[in-house]
Amino acid sequence: MISKKKIEDAAQKVLDDLGPYHKEGVYEEAIMHEFRCCDIPYERQRNVEIIYKGYSVGTRTPDCILNLLNTEGKEEEFLVEMKALANIKATQEKQVKVYLASMNIDKGAILNFNRSTDTIEFKEVRNPGKEFRKDMVFSKETCDEVNKEILKEAGKEVIDYLGTEFSYDRSGLDLYKEAVSVELRLQGLDFNSTTYPILYRNHHVTDYAYDYIFCNGEVANIIAYDDESQIIDYVKEFSAYNKRFGIEKGFVLALPKEEQKKKKKLEVEVEKV
């Protein structure tokens, strides 16, 4: 039977052999092979539907799901998310909590190959239960137009729930865009996404997409940033395309890629030049 000690022992073997020099994906690949060598059954990268306030906002694939013995001697699913970090932060724990809540699994863990201390860290995480509302929330009001305050509050709600770790996924910001969509609909806003063709002398050369276009013709896009210079650069581009398409007003909701930058989350209102 699988125990937490077996998982930690397998991880330690990997770290002892490979050393603290690799990225997360290398350790993940190695420990999966070690699991096979030790006859530890696992399920890798199961497609999981992420639920936000009762609404599906997309899918993600946690690294590994094992069957561990609980205190009653029965097997139960146990989620393991691999990391290779100097220290485990709240946003990594939040990512695991979102998985546990969406999958209705009681427990999971972050298995960290700490490259700074050359040690294995096994941090158990529990399903947050009522802390993460799974009951469907319905709109109780209507709103005719978007504004900075509505977008700011929507972004705050989404980051508080999802954290920032999902922004590094190869699928990009789709979870965040869908979750913000839920928040905007709960505020009674009606909108669509849209794509404009970019033409050169009547020849279609590429497209430009807006995440949200509202009934009054205003638009909004979501980006993730590491530093504020990225916001400035994006706003210049965004403003230029608004002018090109005759859009009079738009918003950029900039979400931080790291949790400690959450207080610096910016929303930039762009007027037509």
For the whole model, what pTM was predicted? 0.86
Residue 45: the pLDDT is: 86
Residue 272: the pLDDT is: 45
Residue linked to tokens 């706003």: 235
Q: Do 4 and 111 contact (CB within 8 A), yes or no? A: no
Residue 226: the pLDDT is: 87
148-185 as b/e, with b when 16 or more CB fall inside 10 Å? eebbeebbebbbebbbbbbbeeeeebbbbbbbbbbbbb
Q: Do 234 and 218 contact (CB within 8 A), yes or no? A: no
Residue 129: the pLDDT is: 80
- The residue length of the chain stands at 273
Dist CA 169 CA 225 (whole Å) = 14
Tens of pLDDT, residue by residue over 178-195, are: 999 999 999 999 999 999
Residue 271: the pLDDT is: 47
Residue 252: the pLDDT is: 94
Domains of the chain in start order, with CATH, are 4-131 (3.90.320.10), 148-271 (no CATH)
Q: Which of 65, 61, 49, 131 is nearest to 94 (CA)?
A: 131
N-term to C-term CA, the chain: 66
Q: How far is CA 130 from CA 97, 163, 221, in A?
A: 12, 17, 31
Residues of the chain with pLDDT under 50: 263, 266, 271-273
